[in-house]
Chains A and B, each alone.
Chain A
Amino acid sequence: MSAIEEQQLERRGRADAPVYVYGIVRAGAGVPRVPGVLGSSVAVVPERQVAALVSVVADERVRAKRRDLLAHSDVLQEAHGGGVVLPLRFGTLFPSEEELRAGFLGPRHDELRSLLDRFEGLGEMRLRASYHDEQSVLGEIVAEDQQVARLREATRTGAASHAQLVRLGELVAARLEARRAADGDEIVRRLSEGAVDVNVDAPEGDLGVVKASFLVREQDRRRFDELLEATALRLRHLVDFTCTGPLPPHSFVAIAGGR
């Protein structure tokens, strides 16, 4: 047993031990039976109608590692499987259980309860879409744009001037951006029809088309899936889609005074 584990055991249950908070659930919700951060177990701190999912940790100077990040996500995912959960951003630590109640759960009780009501039966569907490869999307651009096609013909003969090549590249870059924006907008627009809210993030990488989260009602999930399939099918000659969920509503929760 490591020194930290010994210390954890010693302090566990003590009122002054720091608590790591994963998220907020309804009082009486099941406790996730997956390992928490730093190998700890998960417990609940109830306050009237709401409760915090927590782990008691050894001290406030926690250094989180890769497996702790995964544990945070696993705990929330497991909780979400059993009902509504408001996920906290990774790494929130209260000095003690008492401080958690008096400084957060108590004063924010009504706000947290109404947030739980608001997110009841809702899940986040996280979507990433990217072009298969550069060739296929550039091929489309040349095929669709006469100006690009003409400049391309003119510069393929070998006698192309530097200025002509720059002009061609500039034009292709602009068309690619426009294409990316149009494809991204179309994807978001189509999938939004199956969602109650949407949050669009910046796409990733050179080939990224869109990264977005959709807040979807449980009873609308099938419709969302159908929209996703139809959209992916429509763009499958160009775009790869990855969709993860239903997840806790990470991208949609916010409280007054938070960021």
Chain B
Amino acid sequence: MAIATQGTASNYLQRAPSPSGLAEVLDLILDKGLVIDAYVRVAVIGIELVTIDARIVIASVDTYLRFAEAVNRLDLTQTEAAGLKELREGGGGGGNGGGKSRGMIEGAKQAFSGNGKEKAGVRSDEED
């Protein structure tokens, strides 16, 4: 199952031995590390505030409407096709035999999503 991504970058897993940018460095050295309270702390200036943006609390009607619009805009035929293509390309653990078997792919997809819940919405979309 372990694909040869050791030490190399793949499109879904990037690895680096050390932090590469200011945001990543700030994240580690401003909030973490030993703190000795009694001593002077250097003022940090000249840095554009890289706001480590806390996720916006999803609680407003506007946000809900945006989500509603976003799901209604989805082209699920395409989404699912892309998902299945991913699975055929090796995600299903041995499912690399061309992916002709619908049953096998469904099974793999269920394994991926952790449950086998309804796909009725998707099917009816495909029939549109």
Contact = CB atoms under 8 A, between A and B. Distances in A.
22 contacts: A63-B45, A69-B44, A89-B31, A89-B33, A92-B41, A143-B76, A143-B80, A145-B117, A152-B71, A152-B121, A165-B65, A165-B68, A169-B65, A173-B58, A177-B58, A206-B56, A233-B91, A234-B91, A237-B91, A244-B20, A247-B18, A255-B34
B36 A88 contact: yes
Contacts of B44: 64, 69, 90-91
B29 A90 contact: yes
Interface stretch (A5-13, A188-196, A222-230): A222-230
Contacts of A148: 71, 121
Give the contact-size bracket for chain A: 35 or more
Nearest to B9: A242
A90 B74 contact: no
B7 to A, nearest CB: 9
B33 A69 contact: no
**Top-4 shortest CB links A-B:** A149-B121, A169-B64, A139-B79, A91-B42
A30 interface: no
B38 A103 contact: yes
A73 B28 contact: yes
A257 B35 CA distance: 9
Given A233-B3, A258-B35, 6 more contacts: A88-B36, A136-B83, A140-B113, A169-B68, A230-B2, A244-B15
A150 interface: yes
Given A89-B30, A90-B33, A234-B91, A244 B24 contact: yes
A76 B124 CA distance: 57
Nearest to B12: A236
Contacts, number: 274
A101 B125 CA distance: 71
Interface in A171-194: 172-173, 176-177, 182, 186
Contacts of B74: 135, 138-139, 142
Give the contact-size bracket for chain B: 35 or more
A90 B63 contact: no
B121 A150 contact: yes
Given A149-B120, A149-B122, A156-B72, A232 B41 contact: no
A232 B64 contact: no
A88 B46 contact: no
B71 A168 contact: yes
Contacts of A23: 33-34
Contacts of B86: 236-237
Contacts of B70: 134-135, 138, 172
B64 A170 contact: yes
B25 A69 contact: yes
Contacts of B32: 87, 89, 250-251
A73 B18 CA distance: 9
B12 A89 contact: no
A171 B78 CA distance: 23
Name which of A60, A169, A202, A234 has the most chain B CB atoms within 10 A of its CB. A169
A179 B14 CA distance: 23
Contacts of A259: 35, 37
A242 B14 contact: yes
Contact of B28 (A94, A126, A255): A126
Name which of A20, A72, A89, A254 has the most chain B CB atoms within 10 A of its CB. A89
